[in-house]
Structure formats: structure tokens, C-alpha cells
């Protein structure tokens, strides 16, 4: 996540929107929990993928949950610290992460409801200076060799002070759980139910690769598929009742959260208009253009959101309905309509329920 986006995420709850009405036809609108506000944090990977898990719980008929975002955020900070120390400080250490980090956090540490662990700074969190404090501590640890065996104790004390101490167990609907038993018995969570997807031409299709992105500190692997198949997979997943975690570049003028739309505008006049015309002309997209913009660092993994629906304009253009985590910003109260061309060019990665993949695609990927 670019530093400029951390600032944008931090002030997201203070933005206002234009009074623009939605003119799109709803093709599919899947169940999703309420829009949240990540406040002054850079942990959109956490909010977006937690929202995905919550939607999956509803799709499976297991109920509606309000899961704690701060619990996995705290635990991934621990995983980042272990990685940073073992790599002797030669590793990415920041607030950012990718969708698979949330899946990994639940697999390793479990999960808990928001009511059990909200975090020290309240419903709208403020993590100002947290990553700097943690990194400074780790750099001090690394100055002495051998590294102290109990270095993690002091590190967790900072987390406890800044984020609060999570409970070892908690009550939920009259029964006591640990985070791991809650994830297993209540959420029925299985990390193998999710796959990471991307599309780039510098790796072979239908194979896995480690995504070259700064926030992929855990060296997560992604299935690489052709661009048109990635778009088709996302559409079919949504139409079949699934939702998708969306990792994308949102730093360009084409991403207009306050106006409710993101399009690959062909004309600057359409960008500057007080209200967005969803049928505005857009630029053509291609795997070659997508690759070029990724390799020249125009496209980066700025921000992660939750794709929950599919809509269509009067001219037949497709839009993905996307749930953001900047509070109820814009005319659609925290949601944004993302056009197919914008999605095609700016998507960095996806987390998709494995069940949403067709049998043909699973066969191609060897799943």
C-alpha cells in the first residue's frame, strides 16, 4: 500500500459525497455486512478479507457475524516481526498486507467477534505511529547478537499497549470459546476453502507464482490465469452467490469514491464532471497494457476492498459493486461501482472462495 493511500485511508471517514443517484440495473447483490471505517490504519487487507469471511458465513447459512479486525491485525504484526528478525531487518515492515494474510491469521490464531476484542482505540481505530514503534523496537533487538531469546515479550507489550490485550477465551451465545475453537466450531473456517488469483504475463498461466508486491511480506503464492478468465471468474462467482476480495490500485483520478464510481475514463471532462455518467466512454484494456502499467509501477497494490455485486448500465456496461472500508463515503454510502475496464487494468490480486471456481478452471490449475 502506497504511503499516500495510508493518508487517504486515515481521513476517509471525513469525506463527503455528491448527491448522485444510482442509475444501474442490479444483476446480483450478495449478502454483506455493514460498511466499516478502518480509520487511521493501513490495514485494509484486514477489513476487506474479514468482510469476505463474514459474507461466506452468511452464504453458508451459518449466520451474520461482526468479526474483530483488530485480533488478526495484532497477530499478523507478530508474524511480520518474526519474519523481520529472521531476515535480519531486510524485509518489508509496515501496516500493509494482502488478503491471504487474513486467511493465514485465522488459520494460525483463530478468530473472535468484535464484542470480544475491539481494540484499544475504539470502533474507528487509530494506529498512528504503531508500525514505527514496532519497527524501532525490532531494529534495537537486531543490534545485539545473538538476538535475545525473549525479544517477543517486549514486542507484544507494545501491541498490548497500542491495541489492547485480547482475551484468551470469551463467551459467545452462552458458550465459552478460545479464538481457535470459535473459528473451528462456530465459523467452520478452513483456509483451504480460499484461493489467491492474479493475472500477469511475466509468469506462465495456470501455474503459481509469488506476487512481486511490497506488502506480500509472507511470499504468498497466487494462481496466474489469463485476464479474460480472471474477469469471467469474478463475474460468474458473483452471479453464483459468492463474493471476492479485491486488491487494486486506487490512486489515480479514475477512482472517484466521493462520486461513487471508478471508470477507465477516456476523456478528462468525464472525470471532472460533478456527477459521473456510468456510460461515459472508457479506454480499451488489454493484457499488454495491464502488464506495462504494473511493470512501470503505475499500478500498485494500494488498497483492498470487498466485491459483493454485479450491476449494469443502460448501455450494457458491467460494474462490480464494491464495499470499501472508509465509512459511509459517497452517494452509495461506502460502496463504489467499479467498471469492467477499471477492474481489468487495476486489479492486482483476488481472494476467491474455491467453490466459486468452475470445474474446468480447477482442472487447469490442478486444484
- What is the 3-state secondary structure of 118-154? CCCCCCCCECCCHHHHHHHHHHHHHCCCCCCCCHHHH
Q: Is the pLDDT confidence value at 307 over 60?
A: yes
Check residue 23 and give its pLDDT: 86
Q: Which helix (H) or strand (E) holds 208?
A: strand 207-210
Q: Is the pLDDT confidence value at 222 over 70?
A: yes
Q: Is the pLDDT confidence value at 175 over 70?
A: yes
Q: Is the pLDDT confidence value at 251 over 70?
A: yes
Q: Is the pLDDT confidence value at 172 over 90?
A: yes
For the stretch 253-269, pLDDT in tens is 999 999 999 999 999 99
Check residue 340 and give its pLDDT: 98
- Residue 127 has which C-alpha cell? 494506529
Which domain, by its residues, includes 157?
A: 3-365
| Average pLDDT score over residue span 273-279 | 96
How far is 214 from 219, CA to CA, in rounded Å? 10
For the stretch 122-149, pLDDT in tens is 899 999 999 999 999 999 999 999 999 9
Instruction: Kindly give the residue spans of alpha helices, DSSP state H, lying in 60-209.
Output: 70-86, 99-109, 130-142, 151-163, 179-181
| Average pLDDT score over residue span 16-23 | 55
% pLDDT > 70, the chain: 94
Contact assessment for residue 301 and residue 200, using Cβ atoms and an 8 Å cutoff = no
Check residue 20 and give its pLDDT: 55
How far is 343 from 225, CA to CA, in rounded Å? 15
Distances in Å between the alpha carbon of 289 and those of 60, 233, 268, 299, 347? Answer: 38, 20, 19, 11, 12
Q: Is the pLDDT confidence value at 37 over 80?
A: yes
| Average pLDDT score over residue span 48-76 | 98
Q: Does residue 349 or residue 14 have the better pLDDT?
A: 349
Contact assessment for residue 323 and residue 223, using Cβ atoms and an 8 Å cutoff = no
Query: Cβ neighbours of residue 238 under 8 Å, at least 6 residues apart?
Result: 28, 30, 244, 307, 308, 309, 310, 320
| Number of independent structural domains in the chain | 1
Closest to 307 measured CA to CA, from 30, 2, 17:
30
Give this prediction's pTM. Answer: 0.94
Closest to 70 measured CA to CA, from 5, 133, 124:
124
Check residue 22 and give its pLDDT: 61
CATH code, 247: 3.90.70.10
Check residue 21 and give its pLDDT: 59
| Average pLDDT score over residue span 274-287 | 97
In the chain, what is the greatest distance between 2 CA atoms, to the nearest angstrom?
66
DSSP states along 309-362 = EEEE-TT--EEEEEE-SBSS-TTTTTEEEEEHHHHHHHEEEEEEEGGGS-HHHH
What 3-state class would DSSP assign to 94? coil
Confidence band for 3, pLDDT divided at 50, 70 and 90: very low
Angle at 328 between CA 326 and CA 330, to 5 degrees: 95
Mean pLDDT, all residues of the chain: 94
How far is 231 from 342, CA to CA, in rounded Å? 11
How far is 321 from 319, CA to CA, in rounded Å? 6
Check residue 134 and give its pLDDT: 98
How far is 275 from 109, CA to CA, in rounded Å? 45
Amino acid at each position: 500500500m502506497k504511503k499516500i493511500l495510508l493518508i487517504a485511508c486515515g481521513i476517509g471517514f471525513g469525506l463527503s459525497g455528491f448527491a448522485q443517484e444510482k442509475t444501474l440495473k442490479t444483476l446480483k447483490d450478495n449478502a454483506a455486512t455493514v460498511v466499516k471505517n478502518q480509520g487511521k490504519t493501513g490495514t485494509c487487507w484486514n477489513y476487506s478479507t474479514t468482510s469476505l469471511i463474514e459474507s461466506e458465513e452468511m452464504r453458508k447459512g451459518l449466520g451474520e457475524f461482526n468479526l474483530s479486525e483488530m485480533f488478526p491485525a495484532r497477530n499478523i504484526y507478530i508474524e511480520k516481526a518474526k519474519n523481520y528478525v529472521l531476515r535480519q531487518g531486510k524485509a518489508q515492515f509496515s501496516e500493509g498486507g494482502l488478503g491471504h494474510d487474513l486467511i493465514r491469521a485465522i488459520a494460525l490464531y483463530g478468530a473472535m467477534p468484535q464484542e470480544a476484542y475491539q481494540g484499544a482505540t475504539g470502533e474507528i481505530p487509530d494506529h498512528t505511529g504503531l508500525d514505527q514503534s514496532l519497527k524501532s523496537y525490532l531494529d534495537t533487538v537486531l543490534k545485539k547478537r545473538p538476538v535475545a531469546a525473549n525479544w517477543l515479550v517486549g514486542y507484544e507489550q507494545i501491541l498490548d499497549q497500542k491495541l489492547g490485550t485480547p482475551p484468551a477465551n470469551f463467551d459467545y451465545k452462552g458458550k465459552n470459546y478460545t479464538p481457535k475453537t470459535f473459528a473451528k466450531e462456530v465459523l467452520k473456517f478452513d483456509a483451504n476453502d480460499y484461493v489467491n488469483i492474479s493475472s500477469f504475463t511475466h509468469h506462465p498461466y495456470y501455474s503459481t507464482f509469488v506476487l512481486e508486491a511490497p506488502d506480500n511480506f509472507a511470499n504468498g503464492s497466487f494462481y496466474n490465469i489469463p485476464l479474460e478468465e480472471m474477469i469471467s471468474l469474478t463475474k460468474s462467482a458473483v452471479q453464483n452467490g459468492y463474493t471476492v476480495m479485491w486488491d487494486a490500485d486506487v490512486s489515480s483520478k479514475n477512482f472517484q469514491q466521493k462520486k461513487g464510481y471508478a471508470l477507465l475514463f477516456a476523456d478528462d471532462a468525464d472525470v471532472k464532471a460533478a456527477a459521473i455518467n456510468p456510460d461515459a466512454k472508457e479506454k480499451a484494456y488489454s493484457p499488454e497494457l495491464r502488464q506495462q502499467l504494473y511493470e512501470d509501477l503505475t499500478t500498485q497494490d494500494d488498497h483492498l476492498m470487498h466485491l459483493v455485486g454485479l450491476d449494469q448500465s443502460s448501455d450494457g456496461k458491467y460494474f462490480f459493486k464494491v464495499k470499501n472500508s472508509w465509512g459511509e463515503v459517497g452517494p452509495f454510502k461506502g460502496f463504489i461501482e467499479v467498471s469492467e475496464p477499471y477492474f481489468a487494468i487495476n486489479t492486482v490480486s483476488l481472494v476467491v472462495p474455491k467453490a466459486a471456481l468452475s470445474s474446468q478452471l480447477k482442472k487447469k490449475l490442478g486444484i
